[in-house]
Amino acid sequence: MKDIVVGAFEVTYEWNAGRAASRFLEGLKQGRILGSRCLRCKRTLVPPSETCERCSGRTEEGIEAASIGTVVSFSIFPRDGGRQGIIMVRLDGADTDLLHLISPGAEDTIGIGARVCAVWRPPEERKGHILDIVGFEPC
Amino acid sequence: MNPVAVIGVGQTHHVSRRQDVNAPELVSEAVGEALTMAGIEPQDVEAVVFGAAIASIQEGFEHVGKWVNDSIGGYLKPCFRVQTGGTVGASAVIGAIYMVASGLFDIVLAAAGTPRAGASGAAAQRALALASDPIYRRGFSGGAVLGLALTFRQYMDRSGVTEEQAAQCVVQQRSNAGRNPFAHLREPVTIKDVLGSRPLAPPVKLLDMCPTSVGAGAVIITSGETVKKRKIPAAWIHGFASITEPATYPGRDPLEARAVREAAQHSYRMAGITDPRQDLDVVELYNACSYQQMHWSEALGLCKEGEGGRFLDSGATDFSGDLPINPSGGVLCTNNGSDAALLRVAEAALQVMGRAGEHQVPDARRSLAMGWGGNQQFASCIVLGQDRP
């Protein structure tokens, strides 16, 4: 005897970005990539957090990382009938890697070690969102 | 540490879908097997540690453990649920080990498993997406497969292993699963099958990945005193560790696999193992993706750095080799997100107890079980042996 009951539900959430992420997202609106630097171990965290995840040190805010960096890894996969490229990039000045997109059209030009630059949305279209950066492409 | 041992192990036959059992009934099957092997009654169990990964979304039921406790002897006893992503099953066993080793409890049940009520793979992907940061990460779809793809590519770049070698891992594991009646995917595959399978997130293809399985497992932990008193077979805990890395995937170095390294080193130190390649007879490691058994071979110190591919090619890790990896077929062939790591401990215990049936490795005196979860946030290692420490 196998009875199956079907159900579904929808829930709406409002996630607090938090202090560190809010500063990062505001920075994106201005075309800047901001991180935080641990006062104890001196690592620069991009995106920023208030506490260093390795040494539990407090961090100082507003450290600007470059919009250019080096590809650490990537994957390009089929999506919505086209392709999407995901990239892990070590921005110059950062001690952590940023997960983001390969700028549409640049997928075949990416390799580990490539130097890539952020492609920004026009200033009037930025919303304080991780996708204010469209993606990364070779410089 | 007070001597502590596994005296009972249970698992269900893992399949794609079960429509006959709810969560309590499913987990009870595995618990019943473990109780029978241990020769104890549910009333003898003094505490329960239940492991469930990403359960709320996957099961549409907040805190599956709450529901399951009633059917696995939890009444009037301490019952805890643990959650460490994919290694949750091993964490549940480690929780039970802590409790018995403390001297406060004598017989503790660790159980894990879920019926996967989320009716499609989309539920699992939605659940995994929910495990990532809503501000920075959630917009980039890809879940666990994406993280594996990024590390697989880095590992190939740094160590020189190929997709063909990763495919050979799948061939080997499926061949092993053919000897394990409890495994999910048991049919042989060829390298060509793997390389030609649908790309998910390159370099990861469909057959590089573990399945989604329905099943449950259980392990019963007791004290050395009880083993002596009851004169029952046991798999002794020689060493173990749980290690945690930062939550955000870009915040750690996935190639370094530091949590795995440290968990292994700590466990070996406790167990008095200085040369794991020689001192271990069988390894059950957490391979959610094909290439991982090569990567973990290095991180677990079973071979030298950068030698994971050569180690595979040597045949040493085949079922007939001198250090078989995953005679059960591993996670690659059987993956219930909740019991996958518990089964590594269960299988490692069965090996040293001589109870692994058709997939028994001859003369298995010492084994290693390894779990991995939360997209590399958590790692667990447990060394088991035939001899009382």
pLDDT, tens digit, for every residue of A22-61? 999 999 999 999 999 999 999 999 999 999 988 889 999 9
Q: Do B20 and A2 touch (CB under 8 A)?
A: yes
Chain A interface includes B147 (CB < 8 A): no
Instruction: Work out the number of other CB atoms within 10 angstroms of the CB of residue A14.
Output: 5
Angle in degrees, 0-180, between the axes of helices B143-159 and B292-299, rounded to the nearest 10: 60
Q: Which pLDDT score, from 0 to 100, does residue B291 have?
A: 98
End-to-end CA distance of chain B: give it in Å, rounded: 10
- Give the A window 46-65 contacts with B, CB below 8 Å: 47, 53-54
Tokens 């001859």 sit on residue = B362
User: In which element (H, E) is residue A30 found?
Assistant: none
Most distant pair of Cα atoms in chain A: their distance: 63
Beta-strand pair B378-385/B366-373:
antiparallel
How many angstroms separate the CA atoms of B29 and B55, rounded?
Answer: 19
Residues 6+ positions from B182 with CB-CB distance below 8 Å = B11, B12, B13, B14, B215, B328, B334
Three-state SS for B330?
Answer: helix
> CA–CA separation, B97 vs B62, rounded Å?
26
pLDDT at B250 over 60: no
Q: In chain B, which residue's Cα lies nearest the Cα of A133?
A: B136
Question: Percent of chain B at pLDDT above 90?
Answer: 79
Tens-place pLDDT, residues B297-334: 999 999 999 999 999 999 999 999 999 999 999 999 99
pLDDT (tens digit per residue) in B195-246: 999 999 999 999 999 999 999 999 999 999 999 999 999 999 999 999 998 8
Task: Establish if B246 touches chain A: CB-CB under 8 angstroms.
Answer: yes
- 8 Å CB contact of B19 and A7: no
Say if CB B151 and CB B255 are below 8 A apart. yes
Confidence of residue B120 (pLDDT cuts 50, 70, 90): low
Amino acid letter for position B200 = L
Higher pLDDT among residues B19 and B7, named by residue = B7
Name the amino acid, one letter, at B323. Answer: L
ipTM: 0.90
Q: A45 and B251 in contact by Cβ < 8 A? A: yes
DSSP symbol at B103:
T
Per DSSP bridges, beta strands B107-114 and B47-51 are: parallel
Paired tokens of A113: 């070690």
Helix (H, G, I), strand (E, B) or coil at A35: strand
Query: What pLDDT, on a 0 to 100 scale, did the predictor assign at position B142?
Result: 65
